[in-house]
Each structure stands twice: as C-alpha cells, then as structure tokens.
Structure 1
Amino acid sequence: MGSGHDHAHAHGPADHNRAFAIGIALNVGFVVIEAVYGILAGSLALLADAGHNLSDVLGLALAWGASVLTTRHPSPRRTYGLRRSSILAALLNAVTLLVAVGAIAWEAVIRLQDPGPVAGGTIVWVAAVGVLVNSVSAYLFVKGQADLNVRGAFLHLASDAAVSLGTVFAGAAILLTGWAWLDPVVSLVIGVVIVVGTWGLLVDSLNLALDAVPEGIDPEVVKAYLQSLRGVGEVHDLHIWAMSTTETALTAHLVIPGGFPGDAFLAATCRQLHDRFGIEYATLQLETGDPAHPCCLAPDTQV
C-alpha cells in the first residue's frame, strides 16, 4: 500500500496587497464623506449606502487578512497551515452584508411611513463621488476572480458602483418632483441589489466551508479518470474539497490487483489531476483488493 502526494506546483493566492490597500483607503474616505452628508441631507439612501460601504471595508479587511494567513507555513498543530481562513472570511463577509441589509430595510420601512425632507442636490453629488470611488476600487480586482475572496471584493464594489449610480438618479428625481418617499424606496432597492449580489457568495462560501466539491469540478469525471488508469480495478473513498478559496485537495483509494505500479505512476497521476482538474493536493492510497483484508471504507456510503 502506498500514497502519492503532489506538491510540485506553486501554491497560495495571487498577491493583491496593493489592490486591498488602495480599495480600503478609498472606501474609508468615502464612507466618512457619505455618512456626514447623509446626516446633513437627511438622506436614508446615503446613510444606507454608507453602511453598505462600511461593511465592504470590513469585508475587504477580512479578505486581505485571510489572504495573508493562507501563506502561513504549516505547523505541527495546523498541518495545512491557515489556508481555510480564506473560506471563513468569505462566509463572514457574506453574512455581515446580509445583516446590514436587514437593518437598512427596517429603517426604510419606518421612513416610508413618515418621509422627511431630503436634500436631493447633496444626494446627487455625493453619490456621483461614490460611482467614481467604487468603479476605481472594483477595477483593482478585475483579475484573479478564481479566488472567492477576490471575486467577493469585485462583486461588492461593482454593485456599490451600480447602487451609487441609482442613488444619483434618485436624487435627481427628488429635485425634480419633491417626492421625499423616493429616498427610502431607493434604500429598499439598494437592499435588494446587495442581497442579489451577495447570495451567490454566501452559497459558494458555505458550500466550501462544509467541504462540498468546488464549483467547476465534477467528481464523477474525476472518478472515471482514476478508474481509466492502467491496472486500476476500482476506485473508492474518493473525497474532493477546498483547502482554501484557491486550492483543492483530493484523497482516494485505488485498487490495483497487480500491486504497486511505482512512483512514476503516482507522479503522473497527481500531475494529471492538477493539470486537468486543478487539484493541487492529491493523496492516493493503493490497495491490491485482497479479500482477506477488505477496506472498511470501500462502500460509497461509508465515511
């Protein structure tokens, strides 16, 4: 019985330190501006967007911290290092955004019952600044979206730009019509946009946290490949999961009646698993299928 490991390929997320630093700095400055003028203008839409942008700043900080932690070396206690922190950061980011949406929606419903005066002109120019800030920040994360954290940062910032653009139109409409109720309505629309943009991130990060097979990998296709290898009679106890938002691991038992085929077989198989399926860490246990010593993990229902 033997095992194969493939660690020949470079690991770790792409270096987005500069993008995270610039994105956080731009958004912190804009949050302060938006919150101050939201209070001065009596605009719930601006305050709601400021709260959303603040949650994005926290999300960017979490993602940045997680991207740093994933590069930490393994230890005797944490044998895979801290790679999984990137998945937890993405999940916490999504949950935080959804909680913020609940607060925005609650305040918007209350404001709809008694709309107050709103300074439409202030809303227009502050939101216009938001369009610029969020567009520039989102552009920094266009590349590297294979990483769930980077994709989350890009989607949030891009949706922020769209929301700010909508707020510009809402402010213009208030100036033209004087309808103060448009402000809380826009807040509700902002909430819907946030939920739509965040839901996919929540589902993906939750699936990875629960060791689901990462999107883009079909376990049946992987199993068929392993079964097609010369000398392999059976494949069982196959597991595929995410070690981080950018790295995938696999373990499997291969029944080879002819016995251990050599290190070249293991090296070639691990290399193909990486090149064809993007699986970075592959561990293969080899068995001969001796009926006197059956594998207790052979049934597919056994974990």
Structure 2
Amino acid sequence: MNHDHHHHHDHGHQHDSKHKPARTDHGHDHGGHGHQHSVDPGNMGRAFVIAIVLNTIFVAVEFGYGFVANSTALMADAGHNLSDVLGLALAWGAALLARRAPNQHFTYGLRSSSILAALANALLLMVACGAIAWEAVQRFHEPAPVAGWTVSIVALIGVAINGISAWLFMSGSKDDINVRAAYQHMAADAAISLGVVVAGLVIMGTGWAWVDPAVSLAIVALIVVSTWSVLRESLRMVLAAVPASIDPHKVDAYLSTLPGVSEIHDLHIWSMSTTETALTAHLVMPAGYPGDAEIDAITTRLKNDFGIHHCTLQIEQGTTDHACCLLVAPPLDLHAGHAH
C-alpha cells in the first residue's frame, strides 16, 4: 500500500517550528494567538463579571418587589433574568474552559464545553418558561390586585441594567458568537422589561389586573421564540451535525475539483465549539501527495470561504479500498459518484 496520510491542523497545537509560516499565511490563530474565539480576559471577561453582578442584584430586588406588589409579570421577568445570570455564568465558564490547552486526555482541549453551555442555557430557559406560563394561567382564573406603580419603577430599573449589560458586550459581539448571543440576550431583556413597564402603567390607568398575566404570557412567548433556535442549533452541535452556516455539498464540490483529485470520501464536518468547525476528508490523488504548499492552500481556502478552522486531510492513491468503517448503513452521498 503506497499512500500518504497528511494530517493538517491549522490551529497551532503541538506543532513544530516548520509549520509557523503556514499559520501566518492562513491568518488564523487560536487561544492566545489573537483570534477572538474565546472571551478576552481583559475586556469581555470584565464585561461578564459586571453583567453577572448587576443582574444578580437586580433579580433579588425584582423578585422581592414582584412578590410584594403581587405581580406575576415582575416575577416572570425576575425568573427570566435569573436564567440570564446562570446563562452568562455558563457562557463565561465555558469560554474560560475553552482556553485551556489540549492534553493527552482532551486532545482538542475543552472547546466543546461551550456547546454544552449553550444547550444547558436553552433548556434552562424552556423550563423557566413553563413555570412562568403555568403561574400566569392560574392568575387568569384568580385575578389579584397589582401594584402597577411598583411594577413600572422596578421594571424601568431592569431596562437600564439590561441596557448597560448589552452595551458591555457590544464591542466583542462582532468576533465571538458567544459574546454576540450575550449581547442579543441582554438587548432583548431590555425590551421585555420595557413591556413590563407598559403593563404597570396600563394597570394604573385602567385597573385591569388581567394585563399582568397577559404580559407574562407574552414574555414567555418571546423567550421561547428567541431560545428555540439556540436549542435546535446546540442539539445539532452535540450530535456532530454539519453547522447550519456550511453547505456540505459546496465543500464536497470544491474538494472534488482540486487538481489531481479523482475522488473524495469520508468527508465529515462538525462543530468543535460554538465558534470553531472541524473537517476530515480522504482525498484520492493517484499522483501522490501534492506537497505542503498545496495542502496549506486548500486549508486556507476552506477557512476563508467556508469558515472551517481545523482541517485533517488524508491523501490516498486509490490502490486499496478505504471504505468508511463507521457506517453500518448505505451512506448518503454528498456528491454524485462519490462514496461516503
């Protein structure tokens, strides 16, 4: 058997010095190399701490006043903000874990902890929504007087705190999907708190107690809609599905048209974390290994055009059958005429 196995990981872990120029050409760094795939300890780390402290204090105040004012809308918003605090803590903890260097037991490091954090956060929000909705429905049957002025004042404080929290994450939201999610979540919370303010004012003006549980259910609906996509995508990541942002057919077509490639198989694309994607593929090249420069060019193209950060390419000459041993059922072809 005469074939070369070339494993090309463009992420700078345990590489010798001869690969440094390739990483420079690819312009992609991880961890401490400058690409913001994890929380910056100086700026984003501080933003997480401030946002967590502010929201924790506000949750205690909001729930307490909601209980005193007999407002399910206020307590619903407090429950939502509590889940936000836990979600921020999960996201920050996962981002810190993702910075840990690989070792012999975790050869990719702990990058995938960010996926688990996203899934846990989404599930937590869904459970909170169920509890809030149940309480609101009970209030429709047994309406109770609500202190509208207290509701409006406390919720207005929530608008300010969530607005400040969103502003803290704004600068890092362009480069890190975790930070972007935190930014969007805080901005949405500011809008939801504004809705509670309006509910309090309506109750003061009309005396309609049913407005409070109605706003609670509206908040629940907004949370479910905004959380559903996170839950679905995090589940896909846990199951090692191809990321929604990547078209596997286009990747397959690109690799198939490379000079010297007669066939490709064992093409796998999956999420290593919420910010990084990996690919493995077998390229059948009858003429043999094309050289490091050509492989570097392929991985650079995969990163720039498809957002795939970690590539492992195995070069074969087609002299033996390299069927995918992982499959027990007929594979779904990504490209006509190719095996898996």
Please tell me the TM-score bracket, short chain as reference.
over 0.9
Q: 2:218 aligns with which of 164, 181, 189?
A: 189
Q: Which segment drifts farther, 136-145 or 238-247? A: 136-145
Q: Which residue of 2 aligns with 1:236?
A: 265
Superposed displacement of residue 68, structure 1: 0.1
Superposed displacement of residue 147, structure 1: 3.8
Tell me the secondary structure at the aligned position of residue 22 of structure 1.
Answer: helix
Q: Deviations over 1:99-143 (max 9, x none)?
A: 000000000111111111110000111111111111111222233
Quote the Cα distance in structure 1 between the aligned partners of 2:321 and 2:67. Answer: 71
Q: Which residue of 2 aligns with 1:4?
A: 7
| Structure 1: 5+ residue stretches without partners | none
Query: Is the CA contact 2:39–2:96 (under 8 Å) kept in the aligned structure 1?
Result: no
Q: 1:72 aligns with which of 78, 84, 100?
A: 100
Q: Which residue of 1 aligns with 2:121?
A: 93
Q: Which residue of 1 aligns with 2:324?
A: 297
Q: Which residue of 2 aligns with 1:29?
A: 57
Query: Is the CA contact 1:248–1:278 (under 8 Å) kept in the aligned structure 2?
Result: yes
Tell me the secondary structure at the aligned position of residue 249 of structure 1.
Answer: strand
Q: Which residue of 2 aligns with 1:216?
A: 245
Q: Deviations over 1:185-244 (max 9, x none)?
A: 111111111101111111111111111111321111111111111111111111111101
Superposed displacement of residue 184, structure 1: 1.0
Q: Which segment drifts farther, 64-73 or 267-276? A: 267-276
Is residue 284 of structure 1 aligned with residue 313 of structure 2? yes
Query: Is the CA contact 2:136–2:217 (under 8 Å) kept in the aligned structure 1?
Result: yes
Superposed displacement of residue 13, structure 1: 1.7
Query: Is the CA contact 1:146–1:246 (under 8 Å) kept in the aligned structure 2?
Result: no
Q: Which residue of 1 aligns with 2:180?
A: 151
Query: Is the CA contact 2:173–2:183 (under 8 Å) kept in the aligned structure 1?
Result: no
Q: Which residue of 1 aligns with 2:45?
A: 17
Q: Which residue of 1 aligns with 2:17?
A: none
Is residue 49 of structure 1 aligned with residue 48 of structure 2? no
| TM-score normalised according to structure 2 size | 0.85
Structure 1 counterpart of 2:323, one-letter code = C
| TM-score normalised according to structure 1 size | 0.95
Query: Is the CA contact 2:77–2:193 (under 8 Å) kept in the aligned structure 1?
Result: yes
Structure 1 counterpart of 2:178, one-letter code = N
| Structure 2: 5+ residue stretches without partners | 12-22, 31-36, 333-338
Superposed displacement of residue 145, structure 1: 5.2
Quote the Cα distance in structure 2 between the aligned partners of 1:148 and 1:61. Answer: 16
Quote the Cα distance in structure 1 between the aligned partners of 2:277 and 2:161. Answer: 34
Is residue 199 of structure 1 aligned with residue 228 of structure 2? yes
Q: Which residue of 1 aligns with 2:335?
A: none
Q: Which residue of 2 aligns with 1:265?
A: 294
Distance 1:273 1:242, change over 3 A: same
Structure 2 counterpart of 1:43, one-letter code = S
Query: Is the CA contact 1:4–1:267 (under 8 Å) kept in the aligned structure 2?
Result: no
Q: Which residue of 2 aligns with 1:39?
A: 67
How many residue pairs are counted as aligned between the two chains? 301
Structure 1 counterpart of 2:68, one-letter code = L
Is residue 137 of structure 1 aligned with residue 165 of structure 2? yes
Structure 2 counterpart of 1:294, one-letter code = D
